[in-house]
Amino acid sequence: MRHRIPYPILAIVVLLAASLACSLPGVLAPPRAPSPSPTPQVVVIVATPTPGPLPPADSADSVEARRIAVYERVAPAVVNVTTQVLRSSFFWGTVPEEGSGSGFLWDREGHIVTNYHVIQGAQKVEVSFGGDVTLPATVIGADPLNDLAVIKVESAPAGVEPVEVGSSGNLKVGQTAIAIGNPFGQFERTLTVGVISALNRTIETDNTVLRGVIQTDAAINRGNSGGPLLDSSGRLIGVNSAIYSPTGTSAGVGLAIPVDKVRRVVPVLLREGRYPHPWLGIEGLGYELSPALARGLDLPVERGLLVARLYQDSPADQAGLRSARREVIVGNRRYLVGGDVVAAVDGKPTAKWEDLNSYLEEHTEVGQTITLTIVRDGKEMTVKATLVDTPESLQGN
């Protein structure tokens, strides 16, 4: 006789059997396909040091953030320099004329560096730190030949820090260049970015020759003169001074005085009010020997500088150099000849007048004695000359 298990009891038995099958592998469990043996795991314990500062990520976002940080740190120290100059007018007599440029805070004593041509001839100078902060300024020192000047306000606004001074001796073409200034005297603290396009340019301006100049394609316009040129870390690498442009606006050729020269000149301006420039006292009238000219003048050297005239009582005069004695015509040009030919200075060949002038300006100082290699009456000889300060009448004041 069969006994049927009541349905509720049967359901409970089935549930218990299923639970037991799950908890006891291989017991009441359906057969499973064999699985591959697991790959052995190797546990490696690494001692990780505390990480140091990471280099900035090379991404567009990080570059942008870096530029923003440079601007926020440096821009408060960039000022707008406005001047008032008295000009003579045929109809109105003497009338005031306003000019503007840029500058930047050099130290916490309120000294500001700008270009000489920004404050040249100014009867009144004012400095704006932005907003309503405009302060009167006085000229402390000026160097026309290097187009640099220092002005001073009584005190800089609270929280404004001087621009960090860098170096220009190790710059490379292609490095980032950042300019901050006041183009056209209206757009305060404008930032433009480019690269260093060239180094060691020699630029002739209306009043002087600028040597060792940095060229950049960062947009520089009128009103930027005297503002800072910065590297990607916000350090000063130059003072924006001029542009090369047929239209008077930025054409991608901006020119800046290198900061190494600024570092040499500004402390002297702060101390003495002017910068002494070594002077020899030779007037060459641009006579530079070439092989053809040397043959025409029957000279034994093919390269050198013809001494045409000497300034009276100048170092060259006192050293015994001889100036020209007669005039001759070679080809279709007149030459003053018969004087000495300067072939080298301190052993450096002088094929062009710029070779001599650049050496004196960049590598000597007032009071230094130099050795000139000259050719006189067909014979080579040396003379020594002690350099003096360039007369102010020759400095473009």
Residues near 75 by beta carbon (within 8 Å), at least 6 away in sequence: 180, 189, 191
**CB-based contacts of 113, cutoff 8 Å, min separation 6:** 103, 104, 106, 148, 149, 150, 226, 239, 262, 266
d(CA 211, CA 279): 16
C-beta separation of 284 from 308 below 8 A? yes
Task: Give the SS3 label for residue 132.
Answer: coil
3-state secondary structure of 19: helix
* Tokens representing residue 288 in the block: 């530079």
167 noted as active-site residue = no
Other CB atoms within 10 Å distance of the CB of residue 278: 22
117 is catalytic: yes
Q: Which of 100, 197, 225, 250 is catalytic?
A: 225
- Partnered with residue 80 across adjacent β-strands are 102, 128
CA atoms within 13 A on the CB side of 29: 12
Distance, in Å, from the CA atom of 224 to the CA atom of 394, rounded to the nearest integer, reads 27
| Long-range Cβ contact pairs of 317-323 (< 8 A, separation 24 or more) | 317/281, 318/385, 319/372, 319/383, 319/384, 319/385, 320/383, 321/282, 321/372, 321/374, 321/383, 321/385, 322/376
Alpha carbon distance 184, 230 (integer Å): 20
Q: What are phi and psi of 262, to 5 degrees?
A: -60, -45
Which uninterrupted H or E stretch holds 135? strand 134-143
- Check 102, 117, 168, 250 and give the catalytic one: 117
Q: Which of 147, 231, 260, 317 is catalytic?
A: 147
Q: Is 277 considered catalytic here?
A: no
> How many Å apart are CA 104 and CA 257, to the nearest integer?
14
Q: How far apart are the first and last CA of the chain?
A: 136
Would you please indicate which residues are annotated as catalytic (active-site) residues? Answer: 117, 147, 225
